[in-house]
Amino acid sequence: MSLILPEGYDPHLSVRETQEAIKYIRDTFQHELGKEMNLKRISAPLFVKKSTGLNDNLNGVERPVSFDIANIPGEEIEVVQSLAKWKRMALKRYGFEPGEGLYTNMNAIRRDEELDNLHSCYVDQWDWEMVIRKEDRSMETLKSVVEKLFVIIKHMEHEVWYKYPEAAAKLPDKIHFVTTTELQERFPDKTPKERENLITKELGCVFITQIGEKLANGKPHDGRAPDYDDWQLNGDIMFWFEPLS
């Protein structure tokens, strides 16, 4: 476990106030996300039948938590590790059209997760997916969506500051785009995580693209699912947060 507890850290809010703030952020953000991205909220499963193939095996090595159900003999049930595959099935089942999508509250268990300040074996997060046309499957579309998400997050910064001025963090005014290849060329002697930290500290907020493909040294920047993730059209949004540096 890699947990950073800064010396003298002051959270500003009590435990109870923190829970109230989390609920406020969740309620407000999902409303803004749904409105700006044209998403409808639907409920998501906590577990699926193994035989459906809908569970996410993440990098291909993580082990799902599994169990059986008395009234469903012969079936192995797995707690979801993510909803990546299920969301695409749901888009089809619910009849979403291009330009429409869904969001949901995902709860999952990842027993093999590397635990730190941002990662837990219990996952409680938003998940969303939208339908696009084949001809819109491009880096331009990806960047456009990322920039829209950044605007939503910046708007949330203002909302949080208005309600909790003592606890709000100042976010940068712009998001930058960088590929994993560019990071390796700029910081050849650093590990992938060190490269992420260096570029995010420098720019404040970055979208790191093309994660999963092998770099010039023969190793990927980070692991990505081999069966559904497009390693040319993917990425992570990262913000610099000084207390965790």
- The residue written with tokens 């947060």 in the block is 241
Neighbours of 59 (CB within 10 A): 15
Dist CA 162 CA 156 (whole Å): 10
* Helices and strands (H, E) in the chain, number of each type: 5, 9
Average pLDDT over residues 119-125: 92
Distance of CA 132 to the CA centre of its chain: 19
Q: What b/e string do you get for 36-46 counting C-beta neighbours within 10 Å, with b at 16 or more?
A: ebebeeeebbe
Residue type, 50: K
Distance CA(208)–CA(15), nearest Å, equals 33
Kindly tell me if the per-residue pLDDT of 229 is higher than 90. Answer: no
Q: Are 203 and 177 in contact (CB under 8 A)?
A: no
pLDDT of residue 203: 97
Render pLDDT for 60-109 as a digit per residue (tens, 0 to 9): 889 999 999 999 999 999 999 999 999 999 999 999 999 999 999 999 99
- Nearest residue to 57 (alpha-carbon basis) of 75, 79, 72: 79
Q: Give pLDDT, residue 243.
A: 82
Task: List, for residues 22-69, the tens digit of each pLDDT value.
Answer: 999 999 999 999 999 999 999 999 999 999 999 988 888 899 999 999
The amino acid sitting at 84 is: A
pTM of the model: 0.90
The radius of gyration computed from the CA coordinates of the chain, to the nearest angstrom, equals 19
